Structure 1
Amino acid sequence: MYQGFYHGKKHHDGDLQDVLDRAWSNGMQKMYITGGSLKDSKRALELAKSHENLYCTVGCHPTRCKEFTKDPDNYFKSLLDLIKENREKVVAVGECGLDYDRLFFCPKDIQLQYFERQFDLAEQSGLPMFLHCRAAADDFLTILRRNKHKMKSGGVVHSFTGTKEEAASYIAEDLYISINGCSLKLQENIDAMLTIPTNRLLIETDGPWCEIKATHASSQYVKTKFKSVKKEKWQKGLHIKGRNEPCNIIQVLEVLAETRKEDIISLADIIYNNTLKLFGGQ
């Protein structure tokens, strides 16, 4: 989308540099680019190498785990080599986990097998894990607990949309929980977020997805608005409606500060330090 393509059709010129510039000018200091497969991890790494404040993850998303099945050992080795050869830029193993909402992409048995396999990446690299869980909390926790000894540097459940009980289970396993626009859609989502201790809290955009929409329960707490246009009417320097980007992280912070009744600067400092603590200071 940052190259102007939507569902395979080009609507406007690529504006990734503008997106990055807006992030830096709105207070972002570092960004982590998510790898969702071997190919995507290589692309994320290439982008991370283009700027001193960009970093990336390396791993295989649950919906992409079929890619493992062609040659599991070689796929695993390729991921591990990518990590080991680029430790200055790779901050976590992932995105990996379970996604039972989208089994049409990858069957459950394959997801289970190769989620578990990626704990070996964490063990051999010493990196934290960037974790994904959708409608699969029980199996997710079973695998996590069985392999927790391999997580030498902990992990974060990102784009959290679970219940209060699920949040408590993740906290009990010493995980961080990351909140974005998708995490704040309904009032029950907000209520679950409120139960997360501040010292276990991260925030994210997951761009180009997971923006805070006007229909979300959280939208009433957003103070910072950016002018946007439809992709068909793109103009340089403007946001695209429905396309999330890193500078929108201020909106997530505003919702959390308002609903948690915390000072926004103090909360930002704590979350920033939580992030550095988890990802090794990078």
Structure 2
Amino acid sequence: MSAAPLDLTDIGANLHHDSFDPDRDVVLQRAAAAGVSTIVVTGSCLDSAIGAAEMSGTRHGVELYATAGLHPHHASDWNTEMAACFRDLSQHPRVVSLGECGLDYHRNFSPVTAQKQAFAAQLDLAIETQMPVFLHQRDAHEDFLEILKPRLDELAGVVVHCFTGTAEELADYVALNVYVGITGWICDERRGAHLLDCVSLIPDERLLIETDAPYLLPRTIRPRPKSRRNEPVHLPAVAQCVADARQQSLKHVAVITRANAAALFGLHA
């Protein structure tokens, strides 16, 4: 007797990425076969947000939703016209969150001042539209909190996506009662081993999982894929690492993360 499907939700996959152009339908078919039934497609600039919204719907048995926002790498592009476009996109029935937005001081592709302005403006837009926010933070924790905290009570919901930080940073997010997204970074014995020790700090009701495809291919997959491109079919590997680290069953992690995604984004559980 075969095991019941996992029914997983991937809260962040960049399926608009051009690496998926040749085989996007096959990628979705593989995801469905692996038990990934819902994917939120990340919009990280205006073009990708429009593409994510256009891609949304039911495809090959997978429910596709979208986010719409400006990644901090592109923060210098922020202006009032773009804000109006994101406001319009927020009305799309399958756009479930504003973002990916936040701060990234690791590479500083946009000046810090521009990043802060774009981040604050998108949080204010999320308050205006009462949309949840899909947030990015790397090497900018204190400034990130300084901008987020004063607005937190007015936001409809918050997920700090692709968490890779320290236990102390995670404790700050737990104290704020926001959702936290875990990716294949936790499967990387070189860079993500610390997450195995601290992921249990996240309460069951605030845990989410994601692939961040095509990035962050889980290093625990055996045999190792020939391609370095990550895709949603590998979400079970992330879920398994999380389950093992939290000393929970894979099924439990699948159930709670799906329910949490439904609660945050207003999806059907």
TM-score by length of 2: 0.87
Q: 1:37 to 1:5 in 2, by over 3 A?
A: closer
1:264: which partner in 2? Answer: 250
2:139: which partner in 1? Answer: 135
1:28: which partner in 2? Answer: 36
For residue 45 of structure 1, the aligned residue among 43, 47, 53 is 53
For residue 117 of structure 2, the aligned residue among 109, 113, 116 is 113
State yes or no: 1:179 paired with 2:189: no
State yes or no: 1:202 paired with 2:208: yes
1:83-122 to 2 correspondences below 5 Å? 83-84=90-91, 86=92, 88-103=93-108, 105-122=109-126
C-alpha displacement at 1:272, in angstroms? 0.9
For residue 147 of structure 1, the aligned residue among 146, 151, 159 is 151
Deviations 1:36-85 (A, max 9, x none): 011110011111146371110011001011111xxx2111111101212x
For residue 273 of structure 1, the aligned residue among 240, 259, 269 is 259
Q: In the aligned structure 2, how far is the partner of 1:196 from the partner of 1:4?
A: 30
Counterpart contact for 2:186–2:242, Cα < 8 Å: no
C-alpha displacement at 1:211, in angstroms? 1.3
Q: In the aligned structure 1, how far is the partner of 2:35 from the partner of 2:223?
A: 14
State yes or no: 1:73 paired with 2:76: no
Amino acid at match of 1:260: R
State yes or no: 1:166 paired with 2:169: yes
1:253: which partner in 2? Answer: 239
1:235: which partner in 2? Answer: none
2:8: which partner in 1? Answer: none
Larger Cα-atom Rg: 1
Amino acid at match of 1:42: I
For residue 228 of structure 1, the aligned residue among 212, 225, 228 is 225
Contiguous gaps of at least 5 residues in structure 1: 7-11, 214-218, 230-240
Q: In the aligned structure 1, how far is the partner of 2:84 from the partner of 2:157?
A: 22
C-alpha displacement at 1:182, in angstroms? 1.9
Q: In the aligned structure 2, how far is the partner of 1:81 from the partner of 1:200?
A: 29
C-alpha displacement at 1:194, in angstroms? 2.5
Q: In the aligned structure 2, how far is the partner of 1:280 from the partner of 1:5?
A: 28
- Say which structure, 1 or 2, has more relative contact order (CA 8 Å, 6+ apart): 2
Q: 1:191 to 1:40 in 2, by over 3 A?
A: same
Name the % identity.
36
Count matched residues: 250
Q: In the aligned structure 2, how far is the partner of 1:3 from the partner of 1:35?
A: 8
2:69: which partner in 1? Answer: 59
Deviations 1:120-146 (A, max 9, x none): 221122111100000111000110112
C-alpha displacement at 1:267, in angstroms? 2.1
1:206-221 to 2 correspondences below 5 Å? 206-213=212-219, 219=220
Deviations 1:230-270 (A, max 9, x none): xxxxxxxxxxx210000100001111111211121122111
1:233: which partner in 2? Answer: none
Contiguous gaps of at least 5 residues in structure 2: 1-13
2:3: which partner in 1? Answer: none
Counterpart contact for 1:122–1:150, Cα < 8 Å: no
Deviations 1:102-157 (A, max 9, x none): 11x10111001110000122112211110000011100011011221331x21110
1:157: which partner in 2? Answer: 160
